[in-house]
Amino acid sequence: MKILMFGRGVIATAYGWALERAGHDVEFYVRPGRAAAYGDVVNLDLIDMRRRVRGKRVAEKWPVRYREALEPDHDFDLIVLSVPHHRLADATAFLSPRVGQATVLVFGNLWTEPLAAIGALPPDRIAWGFPQAGGGFGADGVLRAMLLPSVIFGTLGQPPTERELIVRQAFRETGLRINERPDFRGWLWVHFVSDAGMFSQGLRRGSLSELAGARDDLREALLAGRELLPLLTARGIDLRRHRGALLPFRAPTWLTAPALAWLTTHVRPARVSLTMHDDPDAEEPREVCRDTLAEARRLGIPVPRLQAAEPHFAREETGRA
C-alpha cells in the first residue's frame, strides 16, 4: 500500500516507521521548506511494545522521504491524518481538493461532531482511529517515543466499510492488535474529557510529566475527570456504553489515586505515557482544556476543578494569562 503521513509529528513518524517496516511504501507530506530543515533521516529512540512485555528499544537513523506538494491526481492509497484537534479544520480544508482516490484515516482527538470535523472530505473515504503511542522530539532532534501493542479503530454506528477494513489490515500487518470501538463518537469524547482532567492538573504542575508518581495531583486529575462526566451526558453520550473507560473516574479515589501513582512510578508504559509529555509550552493540552471548559460553560455544567486550573491554560487577555 502507498501511504502518505500528513506531517512529521510524533504519531505520524512512529506509525510511519512501523508501516514501512511492514512493507508499505511511506512518504511524509510537510510544508514547503520543511524537508530541508528536517533532513533525510529521523533519529529514533523508540520503545516498541508490540512483541515484548517490557518492550524492545529501537535506536536508529531512519531514512525518510518527504514531499512538499500534493496534487489531486496522486496515487496514494491511504493518507494518515494525525494532527492536534484544533488544527484539524485547516488540515481537512487543505486535503479536501487533494484527496484523490485515497482513504483518509482521521487519527486523533475530536471534540466536535465527527462528520462536521472532517469538513468537505467525503465521508465515504474516511476511516476513524486513535493512536496508542506517544513521545516527543527533543532539542537534539531525536524522537523519543513509545509504540504500544494495540491501536484503536472505530465506526459511527455502522459496520466497517471495505475501505476501513483495508486500513485495519495495513495496521494489523505491522503486528499491532486492533481494538474496535463501535460507538467511536462517544469513545472519542470520553477520551477528550479524560485528557482534560489530566491536562488541567499537569498544566498546574508545569507539564503532564510532573504527574508521574504524584498521588495527590493524580487524585485531583481523577476528580476533575469525574466532574466532567455530566458534560458527556449533556452532549448525549450513553455512559453505560463506556463503563470500562470511565471506571478510573467513578471508583473511589482513595483506591485509584495510589494505584495510578504506583503504576506511573513502576510500570514502564504507564510511566512513559506521562514522562514523555514534558514540553511545558505544548499547545494541545491547553486547547483541550479551553475547549472542554467552553463547552461546559455553554451547557451550564459546573466543573470547579477545571475552572480553577484556567489560569494555567487561558489565552492572554489584557494582562491576564
pLDDT in tens, 2-61: 999 999 999 999 999 999 999 999 999 999 999 999 999 999 999 999 988 778 999 999
* Domain 186-312 listed as CATH 1.10.1040: yes
Look at residue 312 in the predicted model and tell me its pLDDT. Answer: 94
Q: What pLDDT does residue 282 have?
A: 83
What is the b/e burial string over 92-107, where b = at least 16 CB atoms within 10 angstroms of the residue's CB? Answer: beebeebbbebbbbbb
> What confidence score (pLDDT) does residue 319 get?
41
State CA 68 to chain mean position distance. Answer: 24
For residue 56, give the nearest of 132, 147, 174, 177 by alpha carbon: 147
Which ranges of the chain have pLDDT less than 50? 318-321
Query: pLDDT at position 317, please?
Result: 57
What pLDDT score does 51 carry? 86
Domain range list for the chain: 2-182, 186-312
The 10s digit of each residue's pLDDT in 241-251 is: 999 999 999 99
pTM: 0.94
Give, in order, the Cα–Cα distances in Å from 300 to each of 126, 234, 239, 296: 33, 9, 19, 6
Q: Which CATH class is domain 2-182?
A: alpha beta
pLDDT for position 318 = 40
> Which residue has cell 484539524?
88
